[in-house]
Amino acid sequence: MPGRNFLFVPGPTNVPDRILSAMHRPMEDHRSSVFPELTRGILRDLKAVFRTDRGQAFVFPATGTGMWETALVNTLSPGDRVLAPRFGQFSHLFIDCAQRLGLKVDVLETPWGEGAPPDRIRQALAADTAHEIKGVLIVHNETATGVTSDIAAVRTAIDAAKHPALLYVDGVSAIGSLPFEMDAWGVDAAITGSQKGFMLPAGLGIIAMSERALARRETAKCARVFFDLGDMIKANATGYFPYTPSIPLLYGLRASLDMLLEEGLDAVYARHHRLAEGCRRAVAAWGLTLCAKEPKWNSDTVSAIMVPAGINGADVIDVAFRRYNMALGAGLSEVAGKLFRIGHLGDLNELMLLGALAGAEMAMRDVGIQVTPGSGVGAAAEYYRSTAPALGAKGNSAVSPDAQSRVAGARPTGADKARAAVPA
């Protein structure tokens, strides 16, 4: 089919030409005397993206799932208890990972479409007077339902219970796209992967660990070999890895970090919010609803759009792909067939997302969903027009007052200051 595929799943995301060019290089000796320059720069600048001065970043040839395992096995022992709300497919899989590693999980069943419940977390921890619960597992952005949880509120709940549990956060579809404050929120393990906000192919697992979490390595008894942070710490100290890294992906990550820090993290967050808000206005214009039950849980990286009764969301996805060469995200597990998802994160601008909205409109009409042609596209386009940068302004940083207030909670210093503050 002529033209390019429109990729609007919530990961993997579009890979910019700049990153593709950076990865297109011959192999080299990863033990050479110059290789540490690449490693040290990446590990330094990852701390700026995580917004941590005290934590330590690591990069594995793996995925976000591998980083779940890394976080858990380096800090816990078989039989340890952890607390985890289950409110979507990826929180379910995080729980499954912990259980298969021999951990006991106290599951807080939460309706899909809601986020992590801070009050219930506080109550569960307050009841644990013996402090048997060693950690709290949270998915920051539940991709299956288009829900973003309030990690700062979870930290407040843990502190209110005066509980020493570690805070483990899956930020796979959040970090690099949504405001994330590892130090300010007291996150002990921040987990992500390369294929979402970092705009890379899948293949790198990225994690940052707090000093408190790293100290748990001394007593953790879970078996670990490939994911042993001790080996990484020893090798990274000299600028190397304990085994062969993915050299092309590391050069791609170097380019990704340059792009994120050049745009400025606060500007990245504002761009994602503005694009997502246009998508939400399109959904409202179609007369449809999101899976997120309240606006406070709306994700700025993926919109999960409920289809009318009697319609299979999988049919929308299939028609969009076969007829219009566009990939949309499917409903998973409990919401399979009930929705389709539009991913709007990573390397993305207004016209790209408008193309996705147009394709979604056509596919929905093809399967019998009665939406007015052009209604969603028009609503989003008018929003983008009204919030666009003034002519002559540099960049694409102009945002609505709503978007400005959404980002106002992030650290006031810009990405350049954050980057400069991290020791080399």
Residue-wise pLDDT tens digits, 358-395: 999 999 999 999 999 999 999 999 999 999 988 875 55
pLDDT value for 235? 98
Using CA atoms, how far apart are residues 229 and 210, in angstroms rounded to an integer?
Answer: 12
Q: CATH 3.40.640.10 residue ranges in the chain? A: 17-262
Concatenate the DSSP letters of all residues of 169-232 into one string: EE-TTTTTTS---TTTTT-SEEEEETTSTT---S--EEEEE-HHHHHGGGT--S--STT-HHHH
Q: Which fold has domain 17-262?
A: Aspartate Aminotransferase; domain 2 (3.40.640)
Q: CATH 3.90.1150.10 residue ranges in the chain? A: 6-11+265-407
| Phi, psi angles (nearest 5°) of residue 81 | -95, 140
Using CA atoms, how far apart are residues 47 and 58, in angstroms rounded to an integer?
Answer: 10
Q: pTM higher than 0.85 for the full model?
A: yes
Give the Cα-Cα-Cα angle 63, 328, 398 (nearest 5 degrees).
85
Record the tokens describing residue 7, joined without a space: 């990729």
Average pLDDT of the residues in 212-236: 98
Average pLDDT of the residues in 123-141: 98
Strands 147-148 and 141-142: antiparallel
Strands 133-139 and 81-86: parallel
Which option is the CATH number for 6-11+265-407: 3.90.550.10, 3.30.70.20, 3.90.1150.10, 2.60.40.1120?
A: 3.90.1150.10
Using CA atoms, how far apart are residues 313 and 316, in angstroms rounded to an integer?
Answer: 5
Q: What is the mean pLDDT of the chain?
A: 93
Residue-wise pLDDT tens digits, 146-198: 999 999 999 999 999 999 999 999 999 999 999 999 999 999 999 999 999 99
Percentage of the chain modeled with pLDDT above 70: 92
Give the Cα-Cα-Cα angle 121, 222, 153 (nearest 5 degrees).
20
Farthest CA pair distance, the chain: 64
